Chains A and B, each alone.
Chain A
Amino acid sequence: SAVISQKPSRDICQRGTSLTIQCQVDSQVTMMFWYRQQPGQSLTLIATANQGSEATYESGFVIDKFPISRPNLTFSTLTVSNMSPEDSSIYLCSGGVGLTDTQYFGPGTRLTVL
């Protein structure tokens, strides 16, 4: 198994600013993903964080808005840029040890944009 930590756990931000969320895994994982979850809703995949290369984004998500880094196998960041109230959500990262293995989720970052 893997233990995943995220920081910050929550933040309240002003419209137009940016926030970078960090995700740290306690062991090397092959795959890392970033999700968004609105209250009471399911998880929506934002992108796959690729080590040493550009992330792979899902439809509706773009690099300019959600730049992602993954410099090594245990760490990734997601930036929410030029925030608006519509970006208020919980952002979760996940990691999997194998290519089709189970995903271990971080505790999430609760973002509120005023």
Chain B
Amino acid sequence: GQQVMQIPQYQHVQEGEDFTTYCNSSTTLSNIQWYKQRPGGHPVFLIQLVKSGEVKKQKRLTFQFGEAKKNSSLHITATQTTDVGTYFCAGVRMDSSYKLIFGSGTRLLVRP
């Protein structure tokens, strides 16, 4: 079945350093969404990318969708302790099921 993988699994950075997580799907996606889950919390929607090659920015966060619509990345510039959490990508399948297939997640820890 369709799989969505993320790397790295964990990332431990010093506050102020940059962070990037990569998301790869085994099949072409209709669109991709990114979610953040704080420890003990539930996933919270960050952004959705729909177009091939799309790039979106939210303050220090930059999201990219690959040209083939099979991969994506999230880059955080100058991390802060408030960025701590697990970042999930979630791909929407090309068929009519409208289901989100969640990636394995990248857990970000930030040292103050």
Contact = CB atoms under 8 A, between A and B. Distances in A.
Contacts of B104: 42
A103 B45 contact: yes
Majority secondary structure, B binding face: strand
Q: In the complex, which of the residues A31, A43, A59 has the most CB atoms of chain B within 10 Å of its own CB atom?
A: A43
A53 to B, nearest CB: 15
Interface in A6-64: 31, 33, 35, 40-45, 48, 59
Rank and list the top 3 A-B pairs by shortest CB-CB distance, nearest first. Answer: A102-B45, A43-B102, A105-B42
Interface of B: 1, 30-31, 33, 41-45, 48, 88, 90, 92, 97-105, 107
Interface of A: 31, 33, 35, 40-45, 48, 59, 92, 94, 96, 99-100, 102-108
